[in-house]
């Protein structure tokens, strides 16, 4: 049995199992944010000393994120959310009337990785890959949709509703670097072990700090492959991201500054750095093993309850720790609200039009948490 670290994540008397939405933060990260605010204020927020402190913190978080996804630190752009990164790509690519992009599953996809693309449908063709019940698509369907006018493939690495992990490496290999590739990795970074963007084969990737990385809200990360940065034109501009040269010509700076207009969430970045250090100390593969164990325990116990319908792949290697289910003749929203009154925090999500109950344990949860929730479900 792996070490119980629940005491490092203060949450009063609740069982928190909604980490696929927003995770808890370790106490050390909350303390780091508090210490930073005191130091920043003491130095004078607009002073040379505070500027040096900010630069150090920005560089630190880029380096530690680069370590997690195996990229250059300058390829890490600091945003506010996964959605920010998706919109950098959707609004930054150049299209003409004959252009098309390819997405997966339409309304089966998370809004953040659906709305920005569907917004383009009046300008270009948005092609959809048909999916099976778990959200997977066939590589042959992808190949048949790619042509000389395809500007991008945009998919999620893992799905927010079924927990399915898409075979991203096989998908990118099938593209043979013929078209740019974007990955929404909000449901994988910090959750399913180590990552290497060169093996994933993506040009762009977006995720946030407040889900599986256990950082604060308002922190997001956008990976932009150095060689692919010229494909995107920033849609926001400011003194941080560009300069004026002769005859008032606007020249964008190189990445990461090219896509970072205005101030960042400095205190959030400090908290994120501290949280990622905590995760790395625990071990990314150890996190994956513990998450799988918690998920498997919960699924196995759910299967013993009459009238429970489970969703997502049976193979634990093909899913995250997300467990999605329904109980026949029970309203999912009412179940989640009733359990919240018992200090159990789950979530209602959807698979297409179907409302489901989503449980998403993380490495600070323990077996006792999972079994207590099962006991309360049996009492419904």
Q: What is the DSSP code (8-state) at residue 57? A: H
Residues 6+ apart with CB under 8 A from 179: 146, 150, 151, 152, 153
Q: Which CATH number fits domain 6-24+283-378: 3.40.50.2000, 3.30.70.380, 3.90.1150.10, 3.40.50.2300?
A: 3.90.1150.10
Query: What is the C-alpha to C-alpha distance for residues 192 and 51, in angstroms, rounded to an integer?
Result: 36
Query: What is the C-alpha to C-alpha distance for residues 311 and 313, in angstroms, rounded to an integer?
Result: 7
**Phi-psi group of 71: left, alpha or beta (phi > 0 → left; psi -120 to 50 → alpha; rest → beta):** beta
- Take residue 275 and report the two structure tokens written for it: 């949280």
242-249 long-range Cβ contacts below 8 angstroms, 24+ apart: none
Query: What is the C-alpha to C-alpha distance for residues 322 and 324, in angstroms, rounded to an integer?
Result: 6
Neighbours of 239 (CB within 10 A): 10
* CA nearest to 376, candidates 59, 122, 17: 17
How confident is the model at residue 72, as a pLDDT?
A: 97
Could you list the mean pLDDT of each consecutive 10-residue stretch along the chain, which spans 380 residues?
A: 85 94 98 97 93 94 97 97 97 96 94 96 96 96 96 98 97 94 98 95 98 98 97 92 89 94 92 98 97 98 97 97 97 97 97 96 97 96
Contact 100, 251 (CB under 8 A): no
How confident is the model at residue 4, as a pLDDT?
A: 87
Query: What is the C-alpha to C-alpha distance for residues 151 and 155, in angstroms, rounded to an integer?
Result: 14
Residues 6+ apart with CB under 8 A from 260: 77, 78, 240, 241
Report pTM.
0.95
Each domain of the chain, given as residue ranges in start order, spans: 6-24+283-378, 28-280
Query: What is the C-alpha to C-alpha distance for residues 313 and 377, in angstroms, rounded to an integer?
Result: 22
| Dihedral Cα 88, 199, 20, 277, nearest 10 deg | -90
Q: What is the DSSP code (8-state) at residue 77? A: E
How confident is the model at residue 288, as a pLDDT?
A: 98
How confident is the model at residue 1, as a pLDDT?
A: 53
How confident is the model at residue 12, as a pLDDT?
A: 83
Domain 28-280 CATH class label: alpha beta
* Strand order through the sheet with 354-359: 308-311, 323-327, 354-359, 347-351
Residues 6+ apart with CB under 8 A from 305: 327, 374, 377, 378
């Amino acid at each position: 049995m792996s070490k119980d670290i629940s005491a490092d994540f203060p949450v009063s008397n609740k069982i928190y199992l909604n980490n696929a939405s927003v995770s808890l933060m370790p106490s050390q990260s909350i303390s780091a944010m508090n210490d930073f605010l005191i130091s920043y204020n003491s130095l004078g927020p607009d002073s040379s000393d505070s500027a040096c402190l900010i630069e150090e913190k920005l560089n630190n978080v880029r380096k530690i994120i680069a370590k997690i996804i195996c990229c250059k630190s300058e390829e890490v752009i600091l945003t506010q959310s996964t959605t920010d990164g998706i919109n950098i790509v959707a609004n930054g690519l150049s299209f003409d009337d004959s252009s098309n992009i390819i997405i997966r599953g339409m309304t089966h996809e998370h809004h953040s990785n659906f709305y920005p693309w569907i917004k383009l449908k009046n300008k270009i063709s948005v092609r959809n890959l048909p999916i099976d019940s778990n959200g997977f698509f066939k590589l042959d369907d992808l190949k048949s949709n790619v042509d000389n006018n395809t500007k991008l493939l945009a998919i999620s690495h893992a799905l927010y509703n079924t927990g399915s992990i898409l075979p991203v490496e096989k998908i990118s290999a099938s593209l043979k670097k013929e078209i740019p590739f974007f990955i929404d990795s909000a449901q994988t970074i910090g959750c399913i072990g180590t990552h290497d963007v060169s093996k994933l084969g993506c040009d762009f990737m977006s995720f946030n700090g407040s889900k599986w990385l256990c950082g604060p809200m308002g922190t997001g990360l956008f990976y932009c492959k150095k060689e692919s940065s010229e494909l995107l034109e920033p849609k926001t501009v400011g003194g941080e991201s560009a300069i004026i040269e002769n005859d008032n010509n606007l020249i964008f700076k190189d990445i990461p500054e090219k896509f970072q207009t205005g101030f960042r969430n400095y205190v959030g970045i400090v908290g994120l750095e501290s949280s990622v250090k905590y995760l790395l100390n625990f071990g990314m593969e150890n996190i994956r093993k513990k998450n799988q164990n918690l998920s498997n325990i919960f699924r196995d116990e759910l299967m013993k309850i009459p009238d429970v319908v489970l969703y997502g792949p049976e193979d634990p290697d093909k899913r995250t720790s997300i467990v999605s289910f329904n109980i026949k003749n029970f309203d999912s929203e009412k179940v989640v609200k009733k359990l919240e009154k018992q200090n159990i925090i789950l979530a209602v999500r959807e698979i297409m039009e179907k409302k489901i109950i989503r449980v998403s344990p993380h490495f600070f949860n323990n077996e006792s948490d999972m079994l207590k929730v099962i006991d309360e479900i049996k009492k419904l």
